Chains A and B, each alone.
Chain A
């Protein structure tokens, strides 16, 4: 399953579950050094040209059997050298350890841009000023100026002027800027090694280099300085262990005399300076290129530039850590060379330098001509189809009417269409019937019921055994009404996060009764409403994101004035009020007091009489807030497509990029433009031709799990499935204490015991994570459906008895069952199979109908939304 799902996927799981990350929580675990593959590209120029030519030939030949991929490039027209930091045609290398990766790109007659590093050769005039190796990596030799000329296929050339400076006057090494990133790149400070809490074999480094002062202390001062030996830098324990000169649990990390070795040696030589406060710091890193269409078995050199606070730049390609999110799709070498394989799709390469990250996305197209697209119904289709054309990935056909109605009714109203709805829809000849069905369902209270069920779980509307149900019922009712009245989403969220008073009178206060402490409040807010998981930043800098502890506590400060006292109506509940005072929170590491700050925003001072949560709501609903609208549209996209544009839907970060960023932007802009109108968003999605595509794959898109070239079936959610079985068997489930006829999706909270709902993954409402609801298949589910007293009791009464007494012919009755269960007419063959079964069991017609209903329930067509 993994293999096929990986084809078009950004397997973000890889990054969530990276071993270094896993291990850092666990002091006992050690040594899971990632096996970074060193790839050396040393093909001679002539051979390389031959190889390049050979690749094209292979592709041409392969075209008859497999799709074209990126296609032939045509003739090379133009070559360029990028450095990311050339100023007025001159590249400056300052200092002994400065280096520069050259990026050689060729523009071909087809319009394609391809990386030519693997075939370029270099000539330097005058010689002796600098060296260029075969990968295009430039290192200084002596001060002066030289021109590098890169020659590629057909003798086409490009050149750059390089000035080498500051070799004679040695620039002091800056420990945080230069030494620490080496530990990150080579995995020394990973969670599996010295970066875990307590370190490794007595030597501790801060996780991923986020605390340089601590690292400095441990290296230079701990154990009376035995780790470094300024008198003879090469004899330093640090260098001996890292380069394999002494036994090291982690093995040799880099060679003697390699760039990191030389730099650390120079730092020790200089007497281990920490660097000055005034020394420039890195503000961000920039990848070149950021995106590229690539051929199968293609190569792309990456280039990483660090930008400093004084405006200077530096090439950090060789000290940047690279990781591919999907190694089956493409790999990346330690020097930043991306290699694609045979698969179609996008590989994302994450780059990390200090606390900064950037991402490169390489896309390998399938290269099939996409000529049969349905007429676009707006920007969603435009942007999805644009991506499909770019990938050369033809979409499936449009879904049939019956399938569409079933899909739509499940997704909007959380139930199967009734037999009557199905019959009317199937005979309706009006061209706008799909649009009208969407509007009808959105206006129904079923829509509000279903989305109240969805929001109730993530807003943790959970009833404890000893609390009174009026609170959770009240909150559920409030959510249901908000959905029904289509309350603008920003207002809905504001009413939750600023809730004050007693939940008996102001139901959203209930959220504060379940989300009790300050960190839970800010973490839920970030995850649920902003799609950001900032939990990590509570204790250390977020490993894959820019969030620091200051960001965390600045955000926490918004909740610092939440007061709480027991409710007079229920001692297990609290009343929430604004505690007058200055809103702030302390960063426990620095002891610094931090004022309320939106994520990525500037701190604000809030008068003592004002509830800071109002300011938070203001910040969130600002039209330029980069997270709020995106998080919601992505969450809703996932509801309808079973996979988020960013997935998981609440883990949006630079290093977990959207599969279609333009579409995410467009959806967010439209949502803001509509004044956060949720029904408008649903309507826009449901009316798109993309949503209405069939689940049946064509010859090419079976493995697409990322680009929405077909509908991805998903199992009915627990509540919807139970309701559907109730309808099909005509045996409604009675929930204790609720009016009969209450459906499972209408349950106000999750305190209704039901083995069925539990086994099919009803969420516990214990966290803000939508992942609590599981769609996983398991054995218990199938034992329940195939062979249980519960299902047998449903089969034995209700529908089977009705049908046994029904005097119509079997075909008519079977037709009814198909319309109810599958929202379609049965094929003649299906009627024949069922009739034959009934005949075989005569005279026991009722038992035969039990069997037919049982079989329908257990088909994937019934159990899945498709």
Chain B
């Protein structure tokens, strides 16, 4: 009997090493592994501490070959101009454009074997927002599902979206702004409709909370009149009115200052910290995201628009769609090029991770960094400059915080990062893993009748999750 068990352990840890792509420091035992698996099934009952999430969208599709999955031995026309650098995790290398994140590798996990088959932006975006390969028009986004399954009791909207998708690659609004069939209660509050509508702009403010057609004083007057009427109401506060009272109260909080409104005010942050995040849309949006999470927002989505270089004219917020179609080539220092966008992202995301850690929030906040697909191994000429094209067959994703096991690289690509070699990760499994990292049972029912549709039909990947 004992013999049997230890054999299992050996076998599994061997398999584990293979799965982990040869990265060491993963001495999990079978009980650990089982616990890791189990933690993916735990519902709120087992672990009541709810997690938050900051989901960063590398909209357009990040090149895996120039970021998380370098192929230094590939021919020049595939490997690109950048060199890999070592991270704090032995054997794990990433692109030299991400030195800060290289330093912080024990905090995050990278998946090098993301894969699907959709190379059209619009569909691919809809797919990963819903976390399934064939999303229905009314499928809710991951964020909407999270707020449904883990309602927040704070006086802030449970779900906030920073920076609307824009340009030709944008998914339809219903894929992320309506809550899908879960309804508008789970739709995000959208901040940043235009490219310059973000906290990096000096005149930025959250218009959604402005008084509409009345002054703030008038709103206050109205509120006290309502209070006087309500006090006289013949209706007792029975259980049927609880939701009404709660949400009316929250709406007033948001409209009339108070802590809730303050959460949206990045100006309250120390200017040194603002510099550390980077004075660009992504940096400042991530700082805002951290403020929001801190005040109780369950989920903040951030489109990773990194802004414009000096003198550049706005074309689109599709930062990561680096075909070379605009005036900027993929390896050029402009809004649509890696040497511009990637270091800014490196700085912003690294600062976010450290800031969350400093505040003791990293264990309760999941951070995800991914695009709708990767880019072709082949570098070729786009409309104007060189670039890489859409490539869903194999790409990379990063995740950190909450229940994510740091220092892990999961899955392997082939020699040109064109196809998955080991442990392919589907959108379903990826999303199930994110749910699990937030202590949400991915199979929770979400359909109106409460029993036919799971939040995710995927399988959480134990190796990406903390054990126990």
Interface residues of chain A, those whose CB is within 8 Å of chain B, are: 1, 4-5, 13, 16-17, 19, 21-23, 25-32, 192, 246-247, 249, 533, 535, 648, 651, 695-697, 702-703, 705, 712-715, 758-759, 761, 764, 766-767, 769, 771-772, 774, 776-783, 786-789, 792-793, 796, 827, 829-830, 833-834, 837, 847, 851-852, 854-856, 858-861, 863-864, 866
Q: How many Å lie between the Cα of A764 and that of B184 in the bound state?
A: 13
Q: How many Å lie between the Cα of A863 and that of B235 in the bound state?
A: 12
Query: Which B residues between 34 and 54 are near A, CB-CB below 8 angstroms?
Result: 34, 37-38, 40-41, 43
Q: How many Å lie between the Cα of A114 and that of B241 in the bound state?
A: 39
B23 within 8 A of A: no
B444 near A22 with CB under 8 A, answer: yes
A4 near B239 with CB under 8 A, answer: yes
Q: Which residues of B contact A761 (CB under 8 A)?
A: 183
B226 near A5 with CB under 8 A, answer: no
Q: How many Å lie between the Cα of A139 and that of B226 in the bound state?
A: 70
Q: How many Å lie between the Cα of A705 and that of B38 in the bound state?
A: 37
A830 near B251 with CB under 8 A, answer: no
Interface residues of chain B, those whose CB is within 8 Å of chain A, are: 1, 5, 34, 37-38, 40-41, 43, 138, 157-158, 178, 181, 183-185, 187, 208, 211-214, 218-219, 221-222, 225-226, 228-230, 232-236, 238-248, 250-252, 254-255, 432, 441-445, 448-452, 454, 457-460
Q: How many Å lie between the Cα of A776 and that of B182 in the bound state?
A: 11
List 6 additional contacts besides A787-B219, A852-B225; criterion CB under 8 Å: A17-B450, A29-B441, A32-B41, A778-B184, A779-B250, A829-B232
Q: How many Å lie between the Cα of A786 and that of B214 in the bound state?
A: 11
Q: Closest approach, in angstroms, between the C-beta of B174 and any C-beta of chain A?
A: 11
With A713-B240, A796-B213, A859-B230 given, is the CB distance from A695 to B235 under 8 Å? yes
Q: Which residues of B contact A4 (CB under 8 A)?
A: 239
Residue from A29, A696, A766, A787 in contact with B234 in the complex, judged by beta carbons closer than 8 Å: A696
With A789-B212, A792-B213 given, is the CB distance from A783 to B255 under 8 Å? yes
B232 near A827 with CB under 8 A, answer: yes
A860 near B230 with CB under 8 A, answer: yes
Q: Which residues of A contact B443 (CB under 8 A)?
A: 22-23, 25-26, 28-29
Q: Closest 9 CB pairs between A and B? A: A28-B459, A778-B185, A777-B243, A26-B443, A782-B251, A792-B213, A855-B226, A771-B448, A713-B240
B244 near A863 with CB under 8 A, answer: yes
Q: How many Å lie between the Cα of A525 and that of B458 in the bound state?
A: 31
A866 near B235 with CB under 8 A, answer: yes
Q: Closest approach, in angstroms, between the C-beta of B386 and any C-beta of chain A?
A: 40
Q: How many Å lie between the Cα of A779 and that of B253 in the bound state?
A: 11
Q: Which residues of B contact A26 (CB under 8 A)?
A: 442-443, 454, 457, 459
Residue from A192, A766, A767, A779 in contact with B157 in the complex, judged by beta carbons closer than 8 Å: A779
A28 near B458 with CB under 8 A, answer: yes
Q: How many Å lie between the Cα of A28 and that of B441 in the bound state?
A: 10
B183 near A776 with CB under 8 A, answer: yes
Q: Which residue, B40, B214, B255, has most C-beta atoms of chain A within 10 A?
A: B214
With A28-B442, A771-B448 given, is the CB distance from A1 to B250 under 8 Å? no
Q: Closest approach, in angstroms, between the C-beta of A538 and any C-beta of chain B?
A: 11
Q: Closest approach, in angstroms, between the C-beta of A851 and any C-beta of chain B?
A: 5
Residue from B238, B248, B451 in contact with A786 in the complex, judged by beta carbons closer than 8 Å: B248
Q: Which residues of B contact A696 (CB under 8 A)?
A: 234-236
A782 near B250 with CB under 8 A, answer: yes
Q: Closest approach, in angstroms, between the C-beta of B241 and any C-beta of chain A?
A: 5
Residue contacts A-B, CB under 8 angstroms, 7 given: A1-B242, A29-B442, A761-B183, A764-B138, A782-B248, A782-B250, A861-B235
A859 near B41 with CB under 8 A, answer: no
Q: Which residues of B contact A860 (CB under 8 A)?
A: 230, 233, 235, 241, 244-245
In chain A, what residue has the closest Cβ to B461? A28
In chain A, what residue has the closest Cβ to B181? A764
Q: Closest approach, in angstroms, between the C-beta of A466 and any C-beta of chain B?
A: 14
In chain B, what residue has the closest Cβ to A402? B234
Residue from B208, B221, B229, B457 in contact with A25 in the complex, judged by beta carbons closer than 8 Å: B457
With A32-B41, A777-B246, A780-B187 given, is the CB distance from A859 to B157 under 8 Å? no
In chain A, what residue has the closest Cβ to B182? A774
Q: Which residues of A contact B211 (CB under 8 A)?
A: 787
A247 near B243 with CB under 8 A, answer: no
Q: How many Å lie between the Cα of A786 and that of B233 in the bound state?
A: 19
Q: How many Å lie between the Cα of A864 and that of B241 in the bound state?
A: 9
Q: Which residue, B43, B138, B255, B451, has most C-beta atoms of chain A within 10 A?
A: B451
Q: How many Å lie between the Cα of A758 and that of B235 in the bound state?
A: 27
With A26-B454, A833-B225, A860-B235 given, is the CB distance from A715 to B244 under 8 Å? yes
In chain B, what residue has the closest Cβ to A705? B239
Q: Which residues of A contact B235 (CB under 8 A)?
A: 695-696, 713, 860-861, 864, 866
B251 near A786 with CB under 8 A, answer: yes
Q: Which residues of A contact B444 (CB under 8 A)?
A: 22
Q: Which residues of B contact A767 (CB under 8 A)?
A: 448-449
Q: How many Å lie between the Cα of A703 and that of B240 in the bound state?
A: 10
B244 near A27 with CB under 8 A, answer: no
Q: Closest approach, in angstroms, between the C-beta of A377 and any C-beta of chain B?
A: 24
Q: Which residues of A contact B37 (CB under 8 A)?
A: 30
In chain A, what residue has the closest Cβ to B452? A535
With A783-B254, A792-B214 given, is the CB distance from A28 to B40 under 8 Å? yes
Q: Closest approach, in angstroms, between the C-beta of B71 and any C-beta of chain A?
A: 31
Q: Which residues of A contact B448 (CB under 8 A)?
A: 767, 769, 771-772
With A697-B236, A787-B255 given, is the CB distance from A777 to B222 under 8 Å? no
In chain A, what residue has the closest Cβ to B208? A783
Q: How many Å lie between the Cα of A779 and that of B297 in the bound state?
A: 13
Q: Closest approach, in angstroms, between the C-beta of B341 and any C-beta of chain A?
A: 34
Q: Which residues of A contact B243 (CB under 8 A)?
A: 1, 776-777
B185 near A780 with CB under 8 A, answer: yes
Residue from A30, A249, A779, A793 in contact with B247 in the complex, judged by beta carbons closer than 8 Å: A779
Q: Which residue, A648, A705, A858, A866, has most C-beta atoms of chain B within 10 A?
A: A858
Q: How many Å lie between the Cα of A238 and that of B460 in the bound state?
A: 28
Q: How many Å lie between the Cα of A776 and that of B185 in the bound state?
A: 8
In chain A, what residue has the closest Cβ to B255? A787
B247 near A777 with CB under 8 A, answer: yes
Residue from A713, A715, A793 in contact with B238 in the complex, judged by beta carbons closer than 8 Å: A713
Q: How many Å lie between the Cα of A758 and that of B185 in the bound state?
A: 10
Q: Which residues of A contact B138 (CB under 8 A)?
A: 764, 766
Q: Which residue, A13, A764, A786, A858, has most C-beta atoms of chain B within 10 A?
A: A786
A771 near B449 with CB under 8 A, answer: yes
Q: How many Å lie between the Cα of A789 and that of B213 in the bound state?
A: 7
Q: How many Å lie between the Cα of A13 and that of B452 in the bound state?
A: 14
Q: How many Å lie between the Cα of A799 and that of B290 in the bound state?
A: 45
Q: Which residue, B178, B246, B450, B457, has most C-beta atoms of chain A within 10 A?
A: B450
B218 near A851 with CB under 8 A, answer: yes
Residue from B226, B239, B449 in contact with A703 in the complex, judged by beta carbons closer than 8 Å: B239
A861 near B213 with CB under 8 A, answer: no
